[in-house]
Amino acid sequence: MDGTGGPGGGRTEPRELLTIGAFARASRLSPKALRLYDELGLLRPARVDPANGYRRYAPAQLEAARLVAWLRRLGMPLARIREVCALPHPAAADAVAAYWAQVEADTAARRDLAAFLVDQLSRKDTTMNASPTPLSLRAAAGTDGGLVRTVNQDAAYAGPRLLAVADGYGPGGGPAGVAAIDALRPLEDQDLVPEQDPEGTALLNSLEAAAQRANLAVQRLGADRVPGEPGGGEAGCTLTALLRSGSRFGLLHVGDSRAYVLRDSGLVRITHDHSLVQSLVDEGRLTPEEAPAHPQRALLVRALDGGAAFVPDLQVVDARPGDRYLLCTDGLYGALPAGALRDALAAAAGPEEAVRELIALAREAGGPDNIGCVVADPTAA
């Protein structure tokens, strides 16, 4: 196909090539779209006139142009379209099928999240008018080293107001996770009166201030280490925490540990992983099914590492009696599919049993990583 576009053939063959206008008419695409596809590297013209920059297309490119248009209508990300267009037909068919399976899985997860949000928002009005029912927590926490790792760098905490998990990485990662949770623990004693905090601002401010203290604590640990020495070098942790205030939770999150809520027998994930593989999934370059096997699955794009750029996610969650919350590290959700998490949570009589059962299941699944989890039931106080 380069034969039509080479500099030598330029003088004799342009007649066989179509102008962008003619190619646009033949492909039912606008010249503007064709220029965009060229700029994005999705469909290069067969020849670009070096003198005036006019694009010329070969008739054989019509099929590729139509495929690009179809894939864009499907909502496929541009990077993925580029990959599909480079494949031979049977492989391209497989790639489209894999993409659609991913869309359907994402849609199912988003449907649960949407139902959760609809519920949150419809409750807002009623709780504003009536005084919200204060809730108390029944909660349990546990960690386990798993069957492969020689040290346990996961930490978990469950108190009357505060729930937290942390997953340390690097040398000194274990102490980082413990220090991070310790920095949040003074929040247990803070009496945040929900009636004076209708938007949850005070709740989130307290959490954010505590998170900054946690980051400083991890930074101080790092300052004691010498890079290149045993126990030195890069270290930090994930941190996912819920702080109860009245009938609400403040959610603090950084890294790839997760928070879930089991509500109306559906399990909804309420955190977004700050990991490289999640970024690749978001961009459509990796399917959620491929993510667990990715060689760089442990790579975080955000963490609590003592750095100046530390920014946690913060969110308010309206809790209700009957909910069951799960905080866990990747050693749990990486070992068990979401359906197994949901079933074990739904079957357990209480938080202690749920934590025991989840850790046992992760160990049965091979326990390749440290396992840390917290399960909590809000109940009417």
Question: Cα separation of 51 and 48, whole Å?
Answer: 9
Task: Report residue 364: phi and psi, to 5°.
Answer: -60, -30
- Cα–Cα distance measured from residue 337 to residue 319, given in angstroms and rounded to the nearest whole number: 25
Give the Cα separation of 169 and 57 in Å (integer). 52
- Sheet-wide strand order for 324-328: 135-144, 371-380, 324-328, 258-263, 266-269
Say whether residue 323 binds Mn ion (CB under 5 A).
no
Rounded to whole angstroms, the Cα distance separating 36 from 40 reads: 6
Q: Could you tell me how many residues of this chain bind Mn ion (CB under 5 A)?
A: 5
CB nearer to Mn ion: pick between 72 and 149? 149
Q: Decide: helix, strand or coil at residue 75.
A: coil
Task: Name which of residues 146 to 205 contact Mn ion (CB under 5 A).
Answer: 167
Pick from 369, 371, 373, 374 the residue near Mn ion by CB under 5 A: 369
Please say which residue, 318 or 369, places its beta carbon nearer to Mn ion. 369
Of the pair 240, 329, the CB lying nearest Mn ion is at 329
Least distance between Mn ion and beta carbon 288 (Å): 18
CB of 332 to Mn ion, least distance (A): 9
| Nearer CB in complex with Mn ion: 247/329 | 329
| Residue selected from 144, 305, 330, 377 as contacting Mn ion according to rule CB under 5 A | 330
Please give the Cα distance from 248 to 242 (Å, whole number): 9
Nearer to Mn ion, 144 or 330 (CB): 330
**Minimal distance in Å, beta carbon 284 to Mn ion?**
26
Report the residue number, 369 or 377, with the smaller CB distance to Mn ion: 369
The region of 266-274, 311-319, 337-345, 362-370 touching Mn ion under the rule CB under 5 A is: 362-370
Choices 64-72, 134-142, 324-332, 339-347 (CB under 5 A): range interacting with Mn ion? 324-332
Write 49-56 long-range contacts (CB < 8 A, 24+): 54/19, 54/20, 55/19, 55/20, 56/5, 56/14, 56/17, 56/18, 56/19, 56/20
Which stretches of the chain bind Mn ion, using CB under 5 A? Answer: 167, 329-331, 369
